């Protein structure tokens, strides 16, 4: 079979698939024309370009460029990536029950999850993994390492680790099992009459655990003023769990979410199926810019049905459904096939992206919808809270200390000879001077965005030999460097907060981390204020 015939068959098969979605002839001609142009460009490059070309590499770049113009969730998986892809995507494969990361090119246990295989095997935060089932992991990327760690539940895994604070490797054996990261790490009362439930991920039984937590709160205080559902930093998960959580607070038989795509036969509608747990208890839902997908469905439904007050910052804006399609030669295409729509008719999906993140669309450019009570809500970029609060933003030095794992590594030193610490609520980190000395010994440095821009400007000016301009920029850089020496002390309170959270998590896991942050949480305080004031609560939910 000659090349021209192969190209002809390929073009016919592509066009046949395109025609199957019932598009008009003008668009079909445009697709056919551009496919022919694409094939011609490649043929000319392959025949006449001065250097030898790698067909696989060129086509991969072309495919990636094409998918990257769509959304961050549509991507191509080549045959060489397929095994790793399925291991990481398939729910039947399980890991060791711990978050791991490459810290200074060493594979470290960042956080073992309570009840998981890692903790049962005795792994702790700060331990270094140097071998996995006899496989040399040196110079491997993190996604490759995670693929090695994952496997079928019940299978054995042998690790060689250097425990935190020691230098001699030890062998650890564990049995892979289902990693039940607690989706409700903490629930309790933040005041005598206001309950609080934290939901971190929409995994199996999330709705059951929310229901259980709410029942326990009501048993302890039947006269509760309200309950706070915290969905901040919750990136989503299972759709049916989102529907079931909505069902706890809204009537049976209500449409809470629909999925709509190009192929109408695939559209689906999801309703609440059972009687609710409570229709009247005042509810405050906390969201932020990292609340995504299922979190946005729950918060959006609560808002659209005027069932509770949303507090915080606009959510992430991910309302998409993905599916995986088989391609020739064992490749796959993971693509977006539909979008989520909530009761008001709005879509929560962000419509523009920049560096993989949804862009902030001005309210004036977003379509208007109305809640059950007639309140104005907007689409096209996440869920906007009823009561907006300022996001807790970390100073650049604090963020750099986290990103460069300096706080993590200091906690390793701090905790290596401590079997226990004081209980949450009483533990305080008081040796800031020791941490300051540690960062100096580590040679900690960080770069501000403005420094980066100024350095890039110097590189651009070097070609023009504009010495005076370069000199002025260098002086500005020196002034910034001098001002940064004070940043460490200015951020002292923030840094201590992050150190306390890191240390507490070592002993009390996610539950302790959540409890540690509640006392000084501005969003929680605002929620308490609103839930305790029934007039204010009702006014927020009334027609505006």
- Same domain for 400 and 387, yes or no, is no
Statement: residue 306 has pLDDT above 70: yes
pLDDT by residue (tens digit) across 94-143?
678 888 999 999 999 999 988 888 888 999 999 999 999 988 888 888 88
**Domains identified in the chain, total number:** 5
Query: Does 313 lie in the same domain as 291?
Result: yes
Summary mean pLDDT of the chain: 87
Domain presence at residue 153: yes
pLDDT computed for residue 22 by the predictor: 55
CATH number of the domain bearing residue 115: 2.30.42.10
Q: Is the pLDDT of residue 153 over 60?
A: yes
**Residues 284, 386: one domain?**
yes
CA atoms within 13 A on the CB side of 157: 26
Domain containing residue 140: 95-175
CB 351 within 8 A of CB 380: yes
329 within domain boundaries: no
Q: Which two tokens stand for residue 485?
A: 């020496």
Give me the percent of the chain exceeding a pLDDT of 70.
90
Question: For the CA atoms of 492, 286, 341, 306, what is the dihedral angle to 10 degrees?
Answer: -150
| Tokens describing residue 507 | 């002993």
Residue 160 reports pLDDT greater than 90: yes
Residues 133 and 190 in one domain: no
Average the pLDDT over 179-202 and give the result.
90
CATH number at residue 347: 3.90.226.10
Rounded to whole angstroms, how far apart are CA atoms 356 and 68?
Answer: 9
Q: What is the DSSP string of 221-271?
A: -TT--EEEEE-TT---B-HHHHHHHHHTTS-TT-EEEEEEESSGGG-EEEE
Residue 9's pLDDT is what?
A: 47
In this structure, are residues 288 and 312 in contact, taking their beta carbons and an 8 Å threshold? yes
Average pLDDT value for residue range 232-261:
95
3-state secondary structure of 61: helix
pLDDT-derived band at 23, boundaries 50, 70, 90: low
Q: Does a structural domain hold residue 542?
A: no
Residue 14 falls within a domain, yes or no? yes
Domain shared by 514 and 370, yes or no: no
When pLDDT is averaged across residues 214-223 and rounded to a whole number, the result is: 96
What would the mean pLDDT of 494-502 be, rounded to a whole number?
96
Residue 168: pLDDT above 70?
A: yes
115 and 218 in a single domain? The answer is: no
What does the alpha-carbon distance between residue 271 and residue 257 come to, in Å, rounded to a whole number?
7
On whether both 426 and 284 belong to a single domain, the answer is no
254 with 380, same domain: the answer is yes
> Same domain, yes or no, for 264 and 363?
yes
Residue 527 falls inside a structural domain: no
Name which of 335, 310, 339, 312 is nearest 325 in CA terms. 335
Q: CA geometry: angle at 208 spanning 204 and 213, to 5°?
A: 125
pLDDT of residue 483: 79
Domain boundary among 148, 175, 202: 175
For the residues 399-415, what does the mean pLDDT come to?
96
pTM: 0.83
Taking residues 244-267, report their average pLDDT: 94
Tell me if 537 is assigned to some domain.
no
Identify the pLDDT of residue 116: 84
Sheet with 283-287: strands ordered across: 186-189, 194-198, 226-230, 283-287, 309-312, 387-388
Query: Over 50: is that where the pLDDT of 298 sits?
Result: yes
Residues 423-477: tens digit of each pLDDT? 998 899 999 999 999 999 999 988 888 888 888 888 877 767 677 788 888 888 8
Closest CA to 161 of 117, 111, 116, 125: 125
Residue that is last in its domain, among 175, 203, 236: 175
* Mean pLDDT value of segment 503-515: 92
Each residue of 347-387: pLDDT tens digit?
988 767 666 666 777 777 788 999 999 999 998 788 999 99
Query: Could you give the CA distance from residue 428 to residue 451 in angstroms, rounded to a whole number?
Result: 35
For range 495-505, the mean pLDDT? 96
* pLDDT value of position 94: 63
Q: Are residues 169 and 152 part of one domain?
A: yes
Both tokens assigned to 394: 């970390």
Each residue of 92-103: pLDDT tens digit?
A: 446 788 889 999
Beta bridge mates, 101: 108
Q: Which residue has the higher pLDDT, 7 or 77?
A: 77
Q: Cβ contacts of residue 292 below 8 Å, gap of 6+?
A: 234, 235, 236, 315, 316, 317, 318
pLDDT value of residue 84: 55
Percent of the chain scored above 90 by pLDDT? 51
For position 422, what pLDDT does the model report? 94
Phi, psi of 458 (to 5 degrees): -60, -45
Asked if residue 349 belongs to a domain, the reply is yes
Our measurement of the distance from residue 323's CA atom to the centroid of its chain's CA atoms, rounded to an integer in Å, reads 19
Q: Is 383 in the same domain as 436?
A: no
What's the whole-number mean pLDDT along residues 296-322? 94
φ, ψ for residue 148 (rounded to 5)? -70, -40
Residue 135 and residue 220 in one domain: no
Q: Residue 194: pLDDT above 90? A: yes
Burial 158-173 (b: 16+ CB within 10 A, else e): ebbbbbbeeeeeeebe
Contact 152, 93 (CB under 8 A): yes
Three-class SS of residue 102? strand
Task: Kindly state whether residue 543 falls inside one of the protein's structural domains.
Answer: no
Of the candidates 113, 141, 175, which is a domain's last residue? 175
Q: Flag whether pLDDT at 25 surpasses 80.
A: no
Looking at residue 395, the DSSP 8-state letter turns out to be P
């Amino acid at each position: 079979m000659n090349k021209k015939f192969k190209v002809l068959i390929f073009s016919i098969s592509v066009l046949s698939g395109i025609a199957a979605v019932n598009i008009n002839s003008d668009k079909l001609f445009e697709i056919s024309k551009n496919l022919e142009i694409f094939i011609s460009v490649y043929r000319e490059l392959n025949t006449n370009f001065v250097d030898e070309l790698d067909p696989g590499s060129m086509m991969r770049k072309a495919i990636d460029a094409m998918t990257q113009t769509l959304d961050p969730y549509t991507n191509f998986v080549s045959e060489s990536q397929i095994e790793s892809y399925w291991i990481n995507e398939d729910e039947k494969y399980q890991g060791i029950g711990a978050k791991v990361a490459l810290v200074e090119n060493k594979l470290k246990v960042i956080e073992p999850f309570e009840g998981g295989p890692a903790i049962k095997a005795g792994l702790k935060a700060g331990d270094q993994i140097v071998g996995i089932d006899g496989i040399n992991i040196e110079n491997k990327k993190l996604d490759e390492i995670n693929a090695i760690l994952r496997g079928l539940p019940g299978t054995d895994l042998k690790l060689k680790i250097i425990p935190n604070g020691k230098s001699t490797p030890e062998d650890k054996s564990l049995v892979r099992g289902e990693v039940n990261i607690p989706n409700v790490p903490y629930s309790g009362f933040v005041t005598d009459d206001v309950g609080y439930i934290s939901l971190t991920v929409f995994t199996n039984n999330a709705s059951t655990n929310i229901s259980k937590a709410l029942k326990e709160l009501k048993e302890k205080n039947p006269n509760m003023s309200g309950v706070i559902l915290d969905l901040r930093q919750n990136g989503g998960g299972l759709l049916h769990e989102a529907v079931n959580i909505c069902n706890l607070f809204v009537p049976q038989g209500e449409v809470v979410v629909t999925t709509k795509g190009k192929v109408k036969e695939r559209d689906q509608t999801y309703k609440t199926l059972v009687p609710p747990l409570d229709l009247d208890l005042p509810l405050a839902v906390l969201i932020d810019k990292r609340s995504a997908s299922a979190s946005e469905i729950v918060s959006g439904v609560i808002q659209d049905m005027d069932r509770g007050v949303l507090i915080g910052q606009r959510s992430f804006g991910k309302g998409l459904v993905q599916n995986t399609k088989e391609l020739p030669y064992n490749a796959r295409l993971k693509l977006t096939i539909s979008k989520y729509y909530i009761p008001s008719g709005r879509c929560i999906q962000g419509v523009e992206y920049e560096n993989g993140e949804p862009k902030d669309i001005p309210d004036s450019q977003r379509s208007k919808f109305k809640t059950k009570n007639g309140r104005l809500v907007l689409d096209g970029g996440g869920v906007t809270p009823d009561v907006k609060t300022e996001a807790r933003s970390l100073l650049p030095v604090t963020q750099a200390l986290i990103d460069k794992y300096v706080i993590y590594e200091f906690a390793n030193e701090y905790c290596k000879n401590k079997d226990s610490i004081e209980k949450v609520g009483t533990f305080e980190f008081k040796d800031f001077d020791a941490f300051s000395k540690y960062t100096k010994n580590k040679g900690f440095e960080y770069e501000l965005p403005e420094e980066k821009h100024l350095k890039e400007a110097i590189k651009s000016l070097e070609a023009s030999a504009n010495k005076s301009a370069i000199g002025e920029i260098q002086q500005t850089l020196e002034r910034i460097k001098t001002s940064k020496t004070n940043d460490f002390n200015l951020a002292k309170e923030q840094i201590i907060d992050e150190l306390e959270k890191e240390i507490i998590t070592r002993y009390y896991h996610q539950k302790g981390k959540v409890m540690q942050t509640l006392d000084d949480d501005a969003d929680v305080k605002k929620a308490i204020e609103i839930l305790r004031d029934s007039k204010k609560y009702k006014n927020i939910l009334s027609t505006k």
